[in-house]
Each structure stands twice: as C-alpha cells, then as structure tokens.
Structure 1
Amino acid sequence: MRNPISVYFSLALAMAIVGSSVVVGKLMVKTIPVFLSSGIRFFIAAAVLMILLFWIEKGIPALSKKDVFVLLLQSFTGVFLFSICMLYGVKLTTGMESGIITSTTPMAVGILAFFLLKEKIEKRMAAGIVLAVIGVMAINLFGAGGEAGSPYALMGNLLIAAAVIGEAMFTLMAKLLSPHISALAISAFVSLFGFLFFLPFAVIEAVSFDFSVPGLLDWSYVLYYALIVTVLAFYLWYNGVTKVPASVSGIFTSVLPVSAVVLSGVILKEQFTLVHLTGIVFVIAGIFITVLKKEQKKDSGKLAS
C-alpha cells in the first residue's frame, strides 16, 4: 500500500517539534520554575484536548478500574517524572546532548519490554541498542560540557536518561489499556492527570513567584510547550502512525536528535563538536537497525503468506 507524502511529512514534523521542545524547555525554565511552568502547560493542554475529545468523539469513553490505574501510571511516569527530569536536566546540560540522549527512547522501550513484558530481544535489536549506548556514552564521557563547562553536566545528562526511562514506561503502559480507548482519549487523560500531579507543587512555587518577572516571550514558551509540543505534535504523530507500519514510523524518530542539535546550534548558539557528531551517528544507526529489523521481518512474513 502506497503512503502519501503528507503522512511522512506529519511524522517528520511531529518528531521535529519534539526535538524543538528540548530547546524551548531550556529557555522556559530560565525564568519560570519547573513545576509552575509544567502545571500551566498541562492545564492548557488538558483543556484543549478535553474539548477536542468531546468535539470529535462526542464524550468520554468508558474506563475500567484497570484503565484508570494504567492511565495514572502512564501520567506519573511519562508526564510527571519525565517533565521533571527533562526540564531540570536541560538546565544542567546542553540542548544538543539532551536531544541526542532523548532519541534513545525506542531502545529503552525494547530493553524494558524484555525485563517487564518478557519480550525477546533479537540480535539486530541488541545491535541497535549497543550502537545507541555507545553514542550516549561518547557524549557523557567526552562531550558533557553543559552550560559554560558546568561541573553538573553529567548529572544533567543522567536526568535526561531518567526522562527517557519515564517515556519508555509510558509507551509500555499503553499496551495494557483497553483497545477501545483512542489515542486522543489517552492523551487527554494523561494530560489531565499530569496537571493534577503538578498542581500542588505548582501552587507552592506560584505563591513565592513574581509573575511580573517573565516577559511575553517567556510565557510564549509555556504556550508553545502546551499547544505545539503536547497537542499539535501528538495529532501529527498519531495522524501518521495510524497509516503506516510501526517499523516505518520508528525510522522517523531519528528526526528528533537532528532537530534538537540543529535548533540548539541556531537558537542557543551551542557548539557542535566531533563528539556530538559521533554520538548522533551511533544513535541514529541504532534506531535504523532496530526499526529496519522489524520491517524486514514483516516483509518476510508477507512473502511467506
């Protein structure tokens, strides 16, 4: 089945936006605290997504107790912990290194699926994971320069790695949800629960925060994170993944580190070094080996049938 160019464009643009979130997040937390900015972001995103849910699907789907528990766990790992680790991480390390490390999410999913869901890791998947790990290790051992040579750059990279694990857990939890729950409903509920998780901490920061300090540009970062990263990127991604094999959509995850690296250089004026090039080459090679393995297996199955 032939896939239109518009579908590939949606997938690529979605990952480019996710890559841009690394840069925007770094700019956002310079003036607005992590919990406060995240609370506002998920309040806006949840409101928009709930409106879309009622508009498109005409109401809230029936949820079992298991579904509610899984959605809460998804939100806690993939929204709450992910956001905390990501936003505190980008304060300590560079946008380039954050983007490259974040792109290892598919490998993290594979590793956690092996330990938690007992899914088999085949040889090519293992090779892809090894390449990605080499890329990330190269960055952490030789390129962790952080903010103006910050001694906390390695800690920042470790926080980004923890964020990757949270995102991988979010992905795995989706397999436990009832099949009748749509992607839009999942996104709306995890955003709503994410807002509730952040709310008490956001209120504490809001009490002592001077709202006159951030300018219009600073608040626009929060709005961008809510509407573009959380809502639009979600729509574009699911508009694509529903029309192509998972293995094909997986290839487009390699756009994420490229977007983060390019935007970090252009907007944050960070220097792109040989270490970054080495790391990103290994990571992208690992992604391609991983997803192409699935595609070849799928094609061989078709031939056999």
Structure 2
Amino acid sequence: MRNQLAAYTSMALAMAIVGSSVVIGKLMVETIPVFLSSGIRFLIAAVVLVILLFYFEKGFPALTKKDVFVLLIQSFTGVFLFSVCMLYGVKLTTGMESGIITSTTPMAVGVLAFFLLKEKIEKRMAAGIVLAVIGVMTINLFGAGSQGENPYALMGNLLIAAAVIGEAMFTLMAKLLSPHISALAISTFVSLFGFLFFLPFAAIEALSFDFGAPGILDWSYVIYYALIVTVLAFFLWYSGVTKVPAGVSGIFTSVLPVSAVVLSGLILKEQFTYIHLIGIVFVMAGIFVTVLKKEPQKDSRNLAS
C-alpha cells in the first residue's frame, strides 16, 4: 500500500510539473527566443541525462539502424516540433487553454494508433475521443479567440493542438523501439537529437540576441525547463508508472490540465471562465472514459507476461 501511495504521488507530481511547463514556457519565450531557449534547454538536459545514463546503466545501449531511425523520428516530432508548436502557441493563447488542449494527448495517441498501427478503437475509446474533442472545440469556439480579446488565440490553440500530435507521435514511436532500450536511454537520445535539431536555428538567433538583456529570473525559466520538466518529471513519472497497473497511470494525466489551469490563474493572473470549466470537464471525462477502456486490456497483457 505504501509503495502504491508513493507511486501515485510520483505520477501526480510528474503531471503537475508537466502542467507547470505550459506557464513557465509562456514566461520564458517573452524574453528569450523559442529556438535559442529550446536549444539551451536540451543541451543542459542532454548533459545531465548522459551523466545519469552512465551512472545508472554504465553507458549507451547498442542500437540497431531501426532504433536510430525511430529515435530520430521521436525527437523530431515529440521534441523539436512539439517544443516549437507549444512555445509559439503559448505566446498567442492563454496558459489555461494550452493546458486543457495538451491534456488530450491520450486521445490523440488512440486516433494515430488506429491510422498508423491499425489498432482497434473500441466504443469507450471512441466515446472518450468525442468528449475530448467537444471540450477542445468549446474552448476554441467560445473561448478567448472568439471574444475579440486576443485575435491570435485561435491560431495559438491550433499550434497547441499540433504540439499534441507531435507528442502522440513520440509515444507511438516508442512501441517500435527494441525492448532492451530503457526509458532513461530513450530520454537521453531524444534530448541529444533534439539539441542537434535546434542547434542551427538557435545559433542563428544567438548571433543577434543580447544575452545580457534577460535577467536571472528569465534564465531560471530555461534551467527549470531543462532540469525540472525534462529530467525530474521524467524520473518521477517512470518511477511511479512501473509500480502500478498500466491503465491506472492514465488517470494521472488528468492532473496536467488542472495544474496548468491553476498555475495560469495564480502566476499569469489569467481569468478562469465557465467556458474553461465546461471544456476541462469534457476533456477530463474523455480521459476517464478512455482509461476505463484501457485498464483491463493492459492489465491482462501484463499478467500474461
């Protein structure tokens, strides 16, 4: 029981940190360009993860050509495109709406798995997807973008939705990797590749950027993104997810939008409206319905193995 409680706490904290990244990312790109801040972030994260990999696993695992190709696709979609769409998206829309839309990742995984991996979408999964889509459409049609307060909010929300697709692709690609590659090794490789993808664009932005302009607080956002969001949240999530049934872990993704909404109100002083409430209720209902469908299937596979 104590081990389960520790696992639940770890997963909840991990998702709360991921939710906070929406708010921190919005603050970060106000003073430091997207590509430059992301390049520095993944450089720091990659260095730390390489050290951790050598400490815990004594070096890099052997990779096949297929593994390298999949890791490159993972990094391009789930790191490079995800970060670009997310950070440009939060510049145009609110942290609250970004967090709620980002929480639809489990449903995006289900849809892409149907088209790319030919996995069956059962009735509960379909119901969850419909509920999530209703929630996101409520935000986009009746939220900030339709109220004239921010004419770019709809574009920002679309970029966040694109980031969700990138994150879903990242998740799906993991199924194609060799089973001997650990989660720590995957995180290390995608951070390294992510840094390489950002490097040329970050170098261009660095040439015209005044590094003395941002203050200590501004640079702390980059450090937070690198060490807390990229490294710590990863360890918290996987330290918990390995100790509970697979379906149970999905419930904790609901912490992400709650964290993003609460922190957006507290830190960014954004107003929480009834539209956000309606949207988040539909999205979280969709997640819950999806989890109910997945749990018995994944548990049975775990027992069989």
Class of the TM-score when normalised by the shorter of the 2 chains: over 0.9
Query: In the superposition, relative to structure 1, how do residues 302 and 199 fare at CA in structure 2: closer, same or farther (>3 Å)?
Result: closer
Contact 2:45-2:226 within 8 A present in 1 as well: yes
Q: Give 1:17's aligned residue.
A: 17
One-letter amino acid of the counterpart of residue 289, structure 1 = V
Q: Give 2:294's aligned residue.
A: 294
One-letter amino acid of the counterpart of residue 249, structure 2 = S
Q: How does 1:117-266 map to 2 (within 5 A)?
A: 117-145=117-145, 149-266=149-266
Deviation at 1:298, TM superposition (A): 5.7
Distance 1:94 1:258 in 2: 14
Query: In the superposition, relative to structure 1, how do residues 59 and 115 fare at CA in structure 2: closer, same or farther (>3 Å)?
Result: same
- Corresponding position: 1:284 with 2:284: yes
Distance 2:147 2:229 in 1: 24
Query: In the superposition, relative to structure 1, how do residues 7 and 301 fare at CA in structure 2: closer, same or farther (>3 Å)?
Result: closer
One-letter amino acid of the counterpart of residue 174, structure 2 = A
Contact 2:32-2:214 within 8 A present in 1 as well: yes
Distance 2:204 2:298 in 1: 51
Distance 1:138 1:279 in 2: 6
Distance 2:45 2:300 in 1: 42
SS of aligned partner of 2:154: helix
Contact 2:140-2:146 within 8 A present in 1 as well: no
Q: Give 1:106's aligned residue.
A: 106
Contact 1:81-1:163 within 8 A present in 2 as well: yes
* Aligned length in residues: 304
Deviation at 1:244, TM superposition (A): 1.2
Contact 1:80-1:197 within 8 A present in 2 as well: yes
Contact 2:4-2:243 within 8 A present in 1 as well: no
Contact 2:247-2:299 within 8 A present in 1 as well: no
Contact 1:93-1:146 within 8 A present in 2 as well: no
Query: In the superposition, relative to structure 1, how do residues 64 and 118 fare at CA in structure 2: closer, same or farther (>3 Å)?
Result: same
User: What per-residue deviation string (whole Å, max 9, x for no partner) do you get for residues 103-130 of structure 1?
Assistant: 0000000000000000000000000000
SS of aligned partner of 1:176: coil
SS of aligned partner of 1:31: coil
User: What per-residue deviation string (whole Å, max 9, x for no partner) do you get for residues 136-166 of structure 1?
Assistant: 0000000034999220100000000000000
Q: RMSD value over aligned CA atoms?
A: 1.9
Distance 2:205 2:299 in 1: 53
SS of aligned partner of 1:23: helix
Contact 1:146-1:152 within 8 A present in 2 as well: no
Distance 1:175 1:302 in 2: 15
Contact 1:93-1:147 within 8 A present in 2 as well: no
- Corresponding position: 1:87 with 2:78: no
User: What per-residue deviation string (whole Å, max 9, x for no partner) do you get for residues 21-52 of structure 1?
Assistant: 00000000000000000000000000000000
Deviation at 1:4, TM superposition (A): 2.2
Query: In the superposition, relative to structure 1, how do residues 146 and 222 fare at CA in structure 2: closer, same or farther (>3 Å)?
Result: farther
Long gaps (5+) in structure 2: none
SS of aligned partner of 1:209: coil
SS of aligned partner of 1:4: helix
Q: Which stretch shows the higher mean deviation, 233-242 or 1-10?
A: 1-10
Distance 2:29 2:168 in 1: 24
